[in-house]
Amino acid sequence: MNNNNKSAVSGRFSVLLVEDNPGDRRLAEFALMQGAEAEDASCDLSPVGSLKEAKRLLEDDDRVFDIVLLDLGLPDAKGIETLGGLRDTDPDIPVVILTGESDDLLAGEALKHGASDYVEKSELGARSLWRAVRYAIERKRHEHELMRLAKTDALTGVRNRRAFFDILERSLENARRTDLCFAVLMIDINGFKQVNDILGHSAGDDLLKTIAGLLTTQLRRTDTVARLGGDEFAVIATNLKSPNSALEIAEKIRRSVREIGALKDSSLRPSASIGIAVYPDDNSPADVLVSHADTAMYRSKRDPAGAAYYYDEAMHREAVHRHKIKTNMISDIKGGKFYLDYQPIVDATTHGIVGLEGLARWKDADDKIIAPSEFIPIAEECGWISTLGAWLIDEACKFILEMEEASLPAIPISINVSPVQCREPGFALEVTSTILRHGVDPALINIEITESAIMQDIETASRSLRLLKDAGLGVHIDDFGTGYSSLSHLKDLPLNHLKVDRSFVSEMMNETGSRRIVAAVAGLAKTLDFKTVAEGVESAEQAQALADLGIDYLQGYYFSRPVSVAHLKHCLANGGCINSGKSARILSLSDRRASRAAAESNG
């Protein structure tokens, strides 16, 4: 195929005239030249007298034709087979049929088989022939433009999903025929929903166009860039030297996206998660290759470093497991398969229980416990985290009411909140409405959110947390010390507690730097009138050291593992000892106030 449709009818164009009759050929040449001259155009005319010669010229990569004028009665071909032979060589080029006086039926049949138009030789004037040529070329160009638009993403100008899969099928066929290596890269833009929610959809569109431009200009000419929808892009990288070449392309993409930097003076900085499937290592059909690359991309999203990942069989097993989780999650939330365990939080001086952290658990249909580290990311990914979060608050409120009905001490409960949930506009209202509906004292519910989650979008998080604190809830930063918050941000956040990350607690007995960090956090919190909680306490030595450093409250296996509601109720009803041999006990509200005052006076 050598027709590129780049010539302009009003400028210079090239015609292949296939006519074996010398008189008819001269007549067509004269009419065509006259028509071109009248339109101020120039015409390159190549006359041949057989189908064989015509096919030879069409197959010549050095020759480009805009249109073919074709006589259906040639020495080596007759009738519709003449047109068929021509279109076998170049199915895309427009063809105008030159017919005799009695060939109307044959001309009509030719139109059904792909001819653009026909002109009777007896009426072969400059105007009639030129009009047929001009309309045929313009119609073909219009078809090409429609096809281009149908295969182009309207926003970014790169290929769309339809074009991507067409090209992928051809790339796969070529690779199997030539034993060449190629890769499919699936690319997801992290934090894109935040860009839309915070900066507006116009900013989101601009980001997508910027990334499409980066991919188009920085990748190789032979690579195909496509937008499959939303913030998901894909690349087909062909003629690779080895599978490692795909990783080099992925890293180039990741660097380019990171270099975009902060958007509109916000703290939002786009990054890319990339999954890779490589042929022939992965000899799968086209749609399965994409699915495999997609699976690897989601593995990349869960990597804190955001590294690109190749697909492997372990990922397939993980994908099957994740699919099962997705399939069952919503029905199991509503069906009672989810529940809360509670881990005590104790006073650092008296070791009396001053609070509980509610921890979500899920027992599936096979009675297997699914860890939060498995189902929380999927709930966030699928948009179900709000449903799960609402259930957590609801269950905590029910537990508090059960404690009151049993005349047991009312103990504050801390509930972890996903950063996705905190960014939703109605989050604070939904939490407070649930608490009010149950008639629970808001002071008995604490919301915990990680420091890193707050720093992703500090303005939105601060607004939501302020509403919660104003409603009477406690607001705690979890994993403090890992999110790089600045003091200017910290002093303005509506907080009650800072929760020291367990990594510092685990290292503080052997590593001086961690001990100093814990001491600094305790001093900073006291200055800002916050309380501190240290989690991950596993020994008496750690507990004593943390108390000596001024930490207010402690949490960890040394005092108690997370326990069931039934076990907790039994313990509370029988004096409050959670773990045999430990000194943990329940304090009344007045005892808690006294222990806090004593701790502060000793601090």
| Token code pair at residue 13 | 């164009």
Region 211-229: mean pLDDT is 91
353 neighbors 587 (Cβ within 8 angstroms): yes
372 confidence band (pLDDT: 50, 70, 90) = confident
Question: What distance in Å separates the CA atoms of residue 341 and residue 413, rounded to the nearest whole number?
Answer: 11
Domains of the chain by start residue, with CATH = 12-150 (3.40.50.2300), 161-311 (3.30.70.270), 335-602 (3.20.20.450)
pLDDT at 272: 94
Region 35-58: mean pLDDT is 88
pLDDT tens digits, one per residue of 469-510: 899 999 888 877 655 555 556 666 778 888 888 888 988 888
pLDDT at 576: 57
For the chain, report the end-to-end CA distance as a whole number of angstroms: 85
Highest-confidence segment of 66-70, 123-127, 316-320, 510-514: 66-70
Residue whose token pair is 């004037």: 125
**Which of 271, 269, 268 shows the shortest CA–CA distance to 460?**
268
581 pLDDT higher than 60: no
DSSP letters of 17-84?
EE---HHHHHHHHHHHHHHHHHTT-EEEEEEESSHHHHHHHHT-TT---SEEEEESEETTEETHHHHH
What's the pTM?
0.56
Mean of per-residue pLDDT scores for the chain: 84
Question: What distance in Å separates the CA atoms of residue 158 and residue 226, rounded to the nearest whole number?
Answer: 5
pLDDT at 574: 74
366 confidence band (pLDDT: 50, 70, 90) = confident
2 pLDDT higher than 50: no
189 confidence band (pLDDT: 50, 70, 90) = very high
pLDDT tens digits, one per residue of 288-339: 999 999 999 988 988 878 889 998 877 777 777 777 788 888 788 777 788 9
b/e for 168-190, b at 16 or more Cβ within 10 A? beebbeebeeeeebbbbbbbbbb
DSSP class of residue 121?
A: G
Pairwise pLDDT comparison (457 vs 351), residue with the higher score? 351
280: cis peptide before it, omega within 30°?
yes
pLDDT at 437: 94
Question: What distance in Å separates the CA atoms of residue 352 and residue 586, rounded to the nearest whole number?
Answer: 6
536 pLDDT higher than 80: yes
Query: Three-class SS of residue 557?
Result: coil
Question: What distance in Å separates the CA atoms of residue 419 and residue 457, rounded to the nearest whole number?
Answer: 9
186 confidence band (pLDDT: 50, 70, 90) = very high
213 confidence band (pLDDT: 50, 70, 90) = very high
**Which of 494, 495, 485 shows the shortest CA–CA distance to 530?**
495
Percent with pLDDT over 70 in the chain? 90
pLDDT tens digits, one per residue of 95-110: 999 987 667 788 788 8
b/e for 264-303, b at 16 or more Cβ within 10 A? eeeebebebbbbbbbbeebeeebeebbbbbbbbbbbbbee
Bridge-partner residues for 531, per DSSP?
497
Region 421-437: mean pLDDT is 87
Q: Which of 2-16, 343-357, 486-500, 504-518 comes out lowest in average pLDDT?
A: 2-16
pLDDT at 445: 94
600 confidence band (pLDDT: 50, 70, 90) = very low
